[in-house]
Structures are given as C-alpha cells and as structure tokens.
Amino acid sequence: MIEPVTRAERVRKGSSQRRVQEKENLQQAIMDAAGELLLEQGYSGFSLRQVAERIGYSATTIYLYFKDKDELVFSLIDEAWDRFGRELEQAAASTTNPIEQLRAIGHAYFNFGLNNAVYYQLMFMQRSDFLFCPKPDEELPRIASFVVLTNAVQAGIEAGVLKPGDVQAYSLTAWSLVHGLVSLWISMPQLISESVVRGSIDTILDVAIGGLLQQQGSAIS
C-alpha cells in the first residue's frame, strides 16, 4: 500500500530513473566520443567542439558535464586508471612467487598498453602531469598504484631470487623496459606490427627479469 500506486506516480518514478541513466549516458557518451576523437586526431587535434559535434549536442552542453577541457581529459585518464590499476592488482594477486608475479605484472602492463593505446598515451605520455595530482577526494595520486610493482620487486629481493639492490632502481628499470616497448609501438606502429610486439613480450620480460636474477637460467626455465 505504501508503494507508489497511481500510474502517474509510477510514470514519474520511471522517468526520473531514465533521466539519471540518460544523464550518465550522455556523460559517458561524451567520454566515448572523446576517446574516439583522440584516437583519430591525436591529443593536439582534440577539441571540445568536435566532441560535441560527434555526439550531436551543442558545444555548450559538454560544460554541463565537465567543468572544462582538462576535466574531461582528467576523467578519461581516471577511468583508464581504474581499469589499469585493477588489472595490475589482479596480476599481482594471481601468484605468490615473486618472479611469476613480476612476469604477470609485466604482461598485464603490456596488455593494457596495447589494448588501450589512446589512454596509455594520455596517461603516460601526453598528460603525465595528471599522474601526480590526486583526485579531489583522495589522498594519493594515481602514480601511487605502482606500489604493486615495487612490492613485487621487494619480495623478490627478500626471497633471495633477485639480486640484492635498490628496490626503486630495480623497479624503475623494469618499468622503463615495459614502458619503452609499449611507447615505441604506440609512437611508431609502422615500425613493429602489433603481432610482433605481442610476440616480443615474453622475450623482453625474460631479458629484464633475467637481468635481475640471482641465478641465471631460472627465469627461462
């Protein structure tokens, strides 16, 4: 009896639900269009006007959903980081063997980069300034998510499978290598086909991890 009974009330409720959903839809639609545009035009040729055009709304409308251009870009990056961070964590959680963990993290990183080239570019190459500015309600900047990597390296050293050394330096080395490959491919897709890159991942991880191993050979075994 306390449920909304009148038809009018039910209609109103449905309407407001649809509203919310549509609103989210438009916000998401803007972000999707922005993603497409970034893919096609690159970051420098990316304008709010074109985004608006693409979704069939006036340019002004975008400002109803995003404070300004930067906020739209930030949202794109943020969304990507959510996925990225999740994938890294899943990879890290997939095993307790430090070496396996490093390899899994490396794979996850690679895969994210290859499957989300536009966003990877945004996150690490074009707007890396956002890496260091935390979201309004959060404490840590996004870059802090990299702790999964340093943790794995630390564990490897403590377990005695990696050569003793500076955790930060080792992590940086590992990051450099994977970032290097991903970004080379993104910047110069003509150079190496995606399939070649995907095929190189294991070799490269072998080399990287091999270079850090206490005892050579175990990485490849």
Would you tell me which residues interact with DNA (CB under 7 A)?
8, 11, 15, 19, 22-23, 26, 45-50, 57-61, 63-64, 68-70
Between CA 139 and CA 170 the distance in angstroms is: 26
- Minimum CB separation of residue 176 from its own copies in Å reads 3
Does 93 participate in binding its own copies (rule CB under 8 A)? no
Q: How many other C-beta atoms lie within 10 A of the C-beta of residue 214?
A: 13
| Measured CA distances, 45 to 56, 142, 176, 190 (Å) | 19, 26, 28, 21
* DSSP summary character for residue 129: G
Picked from DNA, its own copies, none, the partner binding residue 48 (CB below 5 to 8 A depending on kind) is: DNA
Site for its own copies in 162-221 (CB under 8 A): 165-166, 169-170, 172-173, 175-181, 183-184, 187-188, 190-192, 200, 203-204, 206-213, 215-216
Between CA 215 and CA 218 the distance in angstroms is: 7
- Minimum CB separation of residue 49 from DNA in Å reads 4
Decide whether 76 or 153 has the Cβ nearer to DNA: 76
SS3 call for 205 = helix
- Minimum CB separation of residue 175 from DNA in Å reads 31
Among the residue ranges 53-61, 79-87, 130-138, 151-159, the one whose residues contact its own copies (CB under 8 A):
130-138
Q: At residue 162, what are phi and psi to the nearest 5 degrees?
A: -100, 150
- Minimum CB separation of residue 44 from DNA in Å reads 9
Rounded to a whole number, what is the distance in angstroms from the first to the last CA of the chain? 69
Does 46 participate in binding its own copies (rule CB under 8 A)? no
CA-based torsion, 59, 64, 65, 68: positive or negative: positive
Picked from its own copies, DNA, none, the partner binding residue 176 (CB below 5 to 8 A depending on kind) is: its own copies
With vertex at residue 98, the alpha carbon angle to CA 155 and CA 212, rounded to the nearest 5 degrees, is: 85
Q: Which of 188, 193, 219, 191 is nearest to 205 (CA)?
A: 219
Residues interacting with its own copies, by CB under 8 A? Answer: 1-8, 44, 63-67, 70-71, 74-75, 124-125, 128-133, 135-136, 143, 165-166, 169-170, 172-173, 175-181, 183-184, 187-188, 190-192, 200, 203-204, 206-213, 215-216
